[in-house]
Amino acid sequence: MEVADLKILFFDVGGILLSNGWGHEAREEAAKRFNLDYAEVNALHNFIFNVYEIGSITLDEYLDTVIFNHPRDFVREDFKDFIYSTSVELPMLQFLKDWKKDCGFRIISVNNEGKELNDYRVRKFKLHECFDAFVSSCEVKMRKPDPGIWQLAMGIAQASPQQCVYFDDRKMFVDTAQKLGIRSFQHTSLESTKQILENLKNENLNRK
């Protein structure tokens, strides 16, 4: 394969392959289950979660600020178990694992996630089966939409923007990657993303 034909696929995780790690739906459910003031929890979450996602604080430190800033009638481990339990597999994950076996592409995740959640999700859902490398915000100390996280991913892959394709469910992140010259697609459904991947595979084969 000529270098010009090389293709790297960058994929977000939450909202495409798995549910969001600790999204607003999960926080709303936690508020109901643990009898929390959702408005207070959400305000504190929005204040500090970005700091957690870039690896500057631990999950326990995040929880100290957002949940255990008051005496509670439940224990920390039960709440953490609930957080982990909200991660579920989406249909796209198994497709990507199967598709990768003979797709001819390297696939790298570019995702925003806190350390403990990221490690749990990689292990629990066997994400090594579809990713060759992980560029996670908690490890690289920057998060989308910082352009630097895509630039770092391209450096790790030793690929130019024209050699890369990016998938995300959030339009803002798709637009940011596009501005860097990366061909980018917004994931809206399993079927539409499957078709895009098959088209990319055929394009690559036709260039050989």
Greater pLDDT, 83 or 5:
83
Greater pLDDT, 208 or 118:
118
Mean pLDDT of 116-130: 98
* pLDDT over 70 percentage in the chain: 97
133-180 pLDDT per residue, tens: 999 999 999 999 999 999 999 999 999 999 999 999 999 999 999 999
SS (H, E, C) the chain: CCHHHCCEEEECCECCCECCCCCHHHHHHHHHHCCCCHHHHHHHHHHHHHHHHCCCCCHHHHHHHHCCCCCCCCCHHHHHHHHHHCCCECHHHHHHHHHHCCCCCEEEEEECCCHHHHHHHHHHCCHHHCCCEEEEHHHHCCCCCCHHHHHHHHHHHCCCHHHEEEEECCHHHHHHHHHCCCEEEECCCHHHHHHHHHHHHHHHHHHC
pLDDT at 3: 45
Greater pLDDT, 208 or 58:
58
pLDDT at 4: 52
pLDDT at 208: 62
- In order of their start, the domains of the chain are 8-19+88-206 (3.40.50.1000), 24-86 (1.10.150.240)
pLDDT at 27: 96
pLDDT at 2: 44
Mean pLDDT of 182-200: 97
30-83 pLDDT per residue, tens: 999 999 999 999 999 999 999 999 999 999 999 999 999 999 999 999 999 999
